[in-house]
């Protein structure tokens, strides 16, 4: 009885793994397949944000398997594909291309570092440094970081929140309390995305 239950559990695990393995196999079939998957995930990330992790993982997987030059080529071709999609969808060719490159360029660096050192710990430490640099850059470039984020949050919350549900005073109070934390939150979120993308790429590579 125990053996039967164990066999069922193994089957369930394998069934869950198969779609991911099939996707990794498809990505590594050729350049066009890798470009297509990376570009599609980037577009879908506009609707479902976590799919940006999968888009970055595609580039990381290519770098881990075939090196940074191949990864760079896929990123460039993907940028061209996103520019074409951006022109067709939004009438702005650079919008999607820039979004894709922001997701992919860090993975070229981290993927090659992981490939060369095989030290996930070292790569995660570098990712932490990149997150810290993102925070620092905000304070170097912007005169008043909390004020900058307060303006963005105020505009976004005004569009998304129903004044009949959340009063204007409560909304502004929430914006005031959140704004000072946004710079650090962006750095932490970026690190988390980089780390999860690396973990996903490693699972595809295995």
Alpha-carbon distance of 80 to 199, in angstroms, equals: 27
* pLDDT tens, N- to C-terminus, the chain (206 residues): 333 444 444 445 454 457 778 888 999 999 999 999 999 999 999 889 899 999 999 999 999 999 999 999 999 999 999 999 988 888 888 888 888 988 999 999 999 999 999 999 999 999 999 999 999 999 999 999 999 999 888 888 888 888 888 888 888 899 899 999 999 999 999 999 999 999 999 999 87
- Residues 132, 137, 142, 146: what is their CA dihedral angle, to the nearest 10 degrees? -10
Which among 125, 103, 105 is positioned nearest to 114, based on CA atoms?
125
**Which CATH topology does 2-205 take?**
Arp2/3 complex 21 kDa subunit ARPC3 (1.10.1760)
Total-model pTM: 0.81
pLDDT, tens digit (0-9, with 9 covering 90-100), for 150-187: 988 888 888 888 888 888 888 889 989 999 999 999 99
* Domain assignments of the chain as residue spans, ordered by start: 2-205
Which burial class, exposed, middle or buried, applies to 146 when counting CB atoms under 10 A from its CB (0-12, 13-18, 19+)?
A: middle
Cβ-Cβ contacts under 8 Å for 86 (sequence gap 6 or more): 92, 93, 94, 95, 96, 97
Q: How much is the mean pLDDT over the chain?
A: 87
């Amino acid at each position: 009885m125990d053996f039967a239950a164990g066999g069922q559990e193994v089957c369930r695990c394998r069934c869950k793994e198969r779609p991911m393995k099939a996707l990794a196999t498809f990505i590594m079939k050729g350049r066009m397949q890798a470009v297509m998957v990376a570009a599609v995930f980037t577009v879908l990330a506009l609707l479902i944000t976590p799919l940006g992790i999968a888009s970055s993982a595609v580039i990381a997987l290519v770098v881990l398997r075939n090196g940074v030059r191949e990864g760079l080529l896929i990123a460039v071709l993907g940028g061209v594909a996103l520019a074409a999609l951006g022109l067709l969808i939004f009438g702005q060719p650079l919008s999607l291309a820039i979004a894709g490159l922001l997701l992919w360029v860090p993975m070229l660096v981290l993927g090659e570092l992981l490939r060369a050192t095989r030290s996930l710990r070292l790569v995660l430490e570098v990712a932490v440094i990149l997150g810290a640099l993102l925070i620092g850059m905000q304070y170097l470039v912007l005169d008043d970081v909390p004020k900058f984020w307060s303006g963005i949050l105020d505009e976004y919350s005004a569009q998304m929140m129903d004044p009949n549900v959340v009063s204007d005073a409560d909304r502004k109070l929430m914006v005031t309390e959140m704004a000072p934390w946004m710079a650090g939150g962006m750095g932490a979120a970026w690190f988390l995305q980089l780390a999860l993308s690396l973990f996903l790429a490693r699972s595809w590579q295995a």
